[in-house]
Chains A and B, each alone.
Chain A
Amino acid sequence: MSMIEFTNVEKYYGNFHALKNINLKIDEGETVVLIGPSGSGKSTLIRTVNGLEEIQEGQLLVNGFDLHDPKTDMNRIRKNVGMVFQHFNLYDNKSTLENIMLAPRLVLKRDEAENKKIAMELLEKVGLADKAANMPSELSGGQKQRVAIARSLAMKPKALLFDEPTSALDPEMIGDVLDVMRDIAKDSSMTMLVVTHEMSFAKAVADRVIFMADGEILEDSTTKAFFDNPKEARAKKFLSQVEHH
């Protein structure tokens, strides 16, 4: 069953045409990596999936709900679709543990003891159980991002969106975050859509690679096909740029 389905989607910022005739289907459990040059519309595309950006035309189905329908309850979609941002976006006034427990408490009304247990398990999973009581300001970038991932997982989402989760990190912190993401991808029921420039991660984890430029999807191939033999000239050029970086 498809988890995310774009059909002829158009997105404008004022007069600027940011997404052009997007057609894309992502099945439940798939891990898809989205790449492309800066300004090509990767963030815009990923942000339409949980309604942070509205679309103007076409149809976008997420977990069976039509996002273009004003009657669709956006909060219901966000319960099932988590998002991890480049700049973490943790709650600065809450401890690590509270960052993770807040949404399940308020949105899912999860029982407090159960909530804490799940949050601690997730901190364990991302290797930060000893930081439960710390404030975000006391964590490194890589630690913040792992807390942000734990926070998304606490909602037990069906899909996770990642928008350049390692781009703001020092090189030595990137590995830990990618390890956690690799771990999540192993869960066969989790759908993942990841914007990243980490090609080794894409090669190792992705089922498919989408290449975007100027608001269009230029290539949508299996990971092996994409890296062995990119069809598009622009994709080839892009790959040689990021890989020899």
Chain B
Amino acid sequence: MALLQDNFPTFLQGFGYTLLSSLIALVGSMILGTGFAIMQIMPQKWVRKLGNIYVQIFRNIPLLVITFFFFLVVSKYVKMSGFTSGTIALMLYTSAFIAETVRAGILSIEGGQMEGARANGLTFGQAMQHIILPQAFRVALPSLGNQFINLVKNSSILAFVGGLDLMYQGNMIAANTFETFGTYMIVGVMYLIITLPLSYYIQHLERKLKQA
């Protein structure tokens, strides 16, 4: 307990950065992922191909490699901190998985509804927005929940690039105090403080949508 009290501001700062990075990456990866999911089902073949290439690249490269690419390579041309490189990498990496999840959700919605909407005069975008995506997200919700929780945990790669997150601060405190066990216990609990409510909230949403 003394460990927590003595280092509370440091833990709290790490917690804050982890939360911030996760939030930014979550919103960003949802937008990007949905965009690339839609690209992969567009009528134009080259657009589908482009979307598919993006997903294959970011899904099949380790997150750490993407992170270092931004931290060491891209930062030579565009100045960015470890926090920024890590958060961008996390966002792109997660967006590839979200694209796959949302695409599967879209495909599970019977194709007739898109055709019905187009014949009714709606544009592709209007049909997506009002008919297909709301149903696709509902189908994809359990799987999206898993992606969000993975995202929070994966944000610990920030520690490798001096991203000031929870894992990074934990490493610092452990190195200074030699209290490895206690430190990482506290770090673990702090991750749970983010992931458990998130997990319960997704379950709650699933139940609510099932009733609707």
Contacts and interface: CB of A to CB of B under 8 A. Distances in A.
Contact of A107 (B110, B116, B121, B134): B121
Contacts of B117: 91, 103
A88 B110 CA distance: 12
Given A92-B135, A93-B131, A93-B134, A87 B112 contact: yes
Interface stretch (A6-14, A75-83, A182-190): A75-83
B126 A106 contact: yes
B135 A85 contact: no
A151 interface: yes
Interface residues of A, number: 25
Interface residues of B, number: 18
A89 B116 contact: yes
A188 to B, nearest CB: 24
B123 interface: yes
Given A106-B126, A106-B130, A85 B120 contact: no
Contacts of B146: none
Contacts of B118: 52, 78
Nearest to B135: A93
Given A89-B112, A89-B113, A91-B113, A82 B131 contact: no
B120 A78 contact: yes
A102 interface: yes
A152 B120 contact: yes
Interface in A151-193: 151-152, 155
B119 interface: yes
Contacts of B112: 85, 87-89
A94 B132 CA distance: 11
A106 B113 CA distance: 16
A148 B113 CA distance: 11
A82 B116 contact: no
Given A78-B121, A93-B135, A155-B121, A52 B115 contact: yes
A108 B123 CA distance: 12
A196 interface: no
A90 B120 contact: no
A87 to B, nearest CB: 5
B35 to A, nearest CB: 21
Contact of B121 (A79, A87, A93, A94): A79
A93 B129 CA distance: 12
A151 B131 CA distance: 15
Contacts of A44: none
B140 to A, nearest CB: 14
Nearest to B116: A89
Given A92-B135, A93-B131, A151 B123 contact: no
Contacts of A148: 116
28 contacts: A50-B119, A52-B118, A52-B119, A78-B118, A79-B121, A82-B120, A85-B112, A85-B116, A88-B116, A89-B112, A89-B116, A89-B119, A91-B113, A91-B116, A91-B117, A91-B130, A92-B109, A92-B113, A92-B135, A94-B130, A102-B120, A103-B121, A106-B126, A107-B121, A107-B122, A107-B126, A108-B121, A155-B120
Closest 5 CB pairs of A and B: A89-B116, A89-B112, A83-B119, A107-B121, A103-B120
